[in-house]
Amino acid sequence: MTAVVSEKAAPLVRLTDAGKNYGNIIALRGVNLEVSGGEVTCVLGDNGAGKSTLIKIIAGLHQHTTGSYEVEGTEVRFGSPREALDHGIATVYQDLAVVSLMPVWRNFFLGNEVRKGPRMDIPFMRRTAKKELLDMGIDLRDVDQPIGTLSGGERQCVAISRAVYFGAKVLILDEPTAALGVKQSGVVLRYIIQARERGLGVIFITHNPHHAYPVGDRFLLLKRGQSLGYYRKNEITRDELTALMAGGAELEELSHELEQAGAGSAAAARLLGEEVHDLGIDRIASGETS
Amino acid sequence: MSSTIETRPAKRHAADERYARRSLTSRLLTRPEIGALIGAIVIYVIFFAVAPPFRQLESLSSVLYVSSTFGIPAVAVALLMIGGEFDLSAGVAVTTSALFASMFSYQLTANMWVGIVVSLVVALAVGFINGYLVVKTGIPSFLVTLGTFFMIRGLNLAITKQVTSNVATNDVSTMDGFGSAQKVFASSFSIGGVSIRITLLWWILFVVVATWVLLRTHVGNWIFAVGGSAPSSRAVGVPVAKVKIGLFMAVGFLAWFTGMHILFAFNTVQSGVGIGNEFIYIVAAVVGGCLLTGGYGSVIGAAIGAFIFGMTNQGIVYAGWNPDWFYFFLGALLLGAILLNSFVRRRAEAMR
């Protein structure tokens, strides 16, 4: 599909033809991706599409086995998440990488504790955590409460504001809206836009095109470890994105499957068929699989 | 939870006001060691009432001495448990340290301090091996240290018999350096006519240092974190392997210290002692509010747990009860403490 031509300064993160094998299993193959400051790159794909493998490579948890990975124009190969963090690449994982039993402020500074001689500067850390969260719109009664007592959206925002506070240049968000309701998803999307406006590069992993399209500048679609397409916003419409995400041919297959199941399923099958048509999957997806 | 996600900058003052509303009892009840403290007071009062000899200061001193010999290794065992791991080899590692120091110096007719230092290296190495195996294999520490427990137990007996042709080591009280080492590890002094064993002071020192490390330093933050969620800690850059190995080595260090006390208090060491003590260290930590699954607990709690053990151990004698029942009481105590702890924790969570 249309490759995005690289421009002016080197992007913050660029993967070229990157791949990852686990033994003889190919988890990811031939993926191109880039994100610059003030941009949101969305990575879309179903379960098992290779999204997790991709972010683990960028975040330094795994190393790519083929292709190249550049940060600001320099080729890198991270041995640990620490190294990625030192390059300004911060990841907010699905499980948020928070320790539920620990107080909010301890989680906020975990791994980046502010020290005053041999001990931590606890008053400063408490104060800062409270202030940073307030800036994000989370008004906590008590930063000493265990982070496990916060709601999903609040925890998400703690994780995002923590990454921003520690000078992340690139923010990788792993399915931040997956477990959230409509309202809280909206809040998280707002922070993605806020981060973009502050000049951060954001890599937003999701399987929801309705969340990706409004905030994204580029879209990478993954399927079974391969790139299904890489688009700029002006190259694709929301409906086309949705159609590609829905898995085109599979949706049709599902509809046939339901038809065969008997009378009760026929109505459902008809609805699915209509949806396939509405989305224009017959138009786009038919010639898609390589 | 009264926190919300909307932007409400005007509520700043309200936040502080809500904070103040949390009562003292609520804050007290969220401390991990509160259950143990209540238990300790109850047990103290019971023995105080039923056992007249228990009321004397001299008895308290001997209760504190017994508590300290279990409380010192329990400090490290509690830290390790907060860090999410067990060490079942801690009890026999105490004996190993004592045997090693004693036999090394005796066989080479070296100064006792040479044996003491070499034995420290051995104890730290045992801790390192435990930690390394747990971290590298990912096998639960319960199983890894169960294996090393049996191995060390076997080594204790086999090597001692090989070297001394006996199940105990030779008396080292006439060796060079014995006097000074005894002063450090096993002396006593008296305050107002009550004799106090030096292990009590060491115990207090270790509890204070460990509590300070746990609550006031970044290392303490990491200990809580690796116990609470190792993958999350790794993801934010905490050196999980180093922290865990370090904790196993801390257990090795305090096992060594306890071993030195035993050696210089009794001059000779039985190769078979120490078996089963690892459970008492764990009981002290759990009674003191450490969560078996890691990520929560307190060293002060473990100290109170060891004190409860010491009180029961000695109190039964003072009360004139049949000491055969001791382990029954210990087990009932453990069960009671666990129930109390979980009750208190649930209440505390509800109160927040």
User: Are B235 and A137 within 8 A, CB to CB?
Assistant: no
Whether residue B176 lies inside any domain: the answer is: yes
Whether residue B17 lies inside any domain: the answer is: no
Whether residue B284 lies inside any domain: the answer is: yes
Domain segments of chain A as ranges: 13-245, 247-290
Long-range residue pairs from B317-321, CB within 8 A, at least 24 positions apart, any chain: B318/B47, B318/B51, B318/B52, B318/B53, B318/B54, B318/B59, B319/B47, B319/B50, B319/B51, B319/B54, B320/B51
Q: How far is CA B136 from CA A68, B241, B242, B244, in A?
A: 29, 8, 11, 11
Whether residue B9 lies inside any domain: the answer is: no
User: Are B12 and A139 within 8 A, CB to CB?
Assistant: yes
Q: DSSP E strands: which ranges in chain A?
A: 13-22, 25-35, 39-45, 66-71, 74-75, 89-92, 115-116, 119-120, 170-174, 201-206, 218-223, 226-232
Q: How far is CA B241 from CA A82, B144, B320, in A?
A: 14, 15, 49
Compute the residue count for chain A. 290
Domain tally, chain B: 1
User: Are A187 and B224 within 8 A, CB to CB?
Assistant: no
The CATH class for the domain spanning A13-245 reads: alpha beta
By residue range, what is the domain housing residue B50? 33-185+196-340
Whether residue B289 lies inside any domain: the answer is: yes
Q: Count other C-beta atoms under 10 Å from residue A102's C-beta.
A: 24
What does the pLDDT read at residue A276?
Answer: 62
Whether residue B26 lies inside any domain: the answer is: no
CATH number (domain holding residue B217): 1.10.3470
pLDDT digits (tens, 9 = 90+) for A219-242: 998 888 888 888 888 888 888 888
Helix (H/G/I), strand (E/B), else coil: A251: helix
Q: What DSSP assignment string belongs to A221-245?
A: EEETTEEEEEEEGGG--HHHHHHHH
pLDDT in tens, chain A (290 residues): 444 444 456 888 898 888 888 888 888 888 889 899 899 999 988 877 888 889 889 988 888 888 989 998 888 888 888 888 888 888 887 766 788 889 999 999 998 899 988 899 999 999 999 998 887 777 887 888 888 888 777 888 888 888 888 878 898 988 888 777 787 788 788 888 878 888 889 999 988 888 888 889 999 988 888 888 888 888 888 888 887 776 655 666 666 666 666 666 667 767 766 766 665 555 554 444 33
pLDDT digits (tens, 9 = 90+) for B109-130: 999 999 999 999 999 999 999 9
Amino acid at B219: V
Q: How far is CA B144 from CA B155, B248, B253, in A?
A: 17, 12, 19
Q: Count other C-beta atoms under 10 Å from residue B242's C-beta.
A: 14
- A→B contacts (Cβ < 8 Å), by residue, are 59, 61, 80-82, 85, 91, 93, 95-102, 106, 109-113, 115, 118-120, 122, 134, 137-142, 145, 149-151, 153-154, 157, 184, 187
Global pTM reads: 0.79
Q: At residue A27, what are phi and psi to the nearest 5 degrees?
A: -90, -30
Mutate to test the interface with A, among B2, B5, B30, B352 (most CBs of A within 10 A): B5
- List the single residue in A with minimal CA-CA distance to B351: A145
Whether residue B311 lies inside any domain: the answer is: yes
To the nearest whole Å, the CA of B227 is away from the closest chain A CA by: 9
What does the pLDDT read at residue B349?
Answer: 60
Q: What does the alpha-carbon distance between residue B139 and residue B85 come to, in Å, rounded to a whole number?
A: 11
pLDDT at B250 over 60: yes
Q: Which residues of A touch B221 (CB under 8 A)?
A: 102, 106, 109-110, 113, 120
- List the single residue in A with minimal CA-CA distance to B12: A139
How many CB pairs below 8 A link A and B? 112
Helix (H/G/I), strand (E/B), else coil: B345: helix
Could you give the angle at the alpha carbon of A182 between the alpha carbons of A178 and A184, nearest 5°? 75
Whether residue B352 lies inside any domain: the answer is: no
Pseudo-torsion of CA B256, B211, B342, B23, nearest 10°?
Answer: 170
ipTM of the complex: 0.81
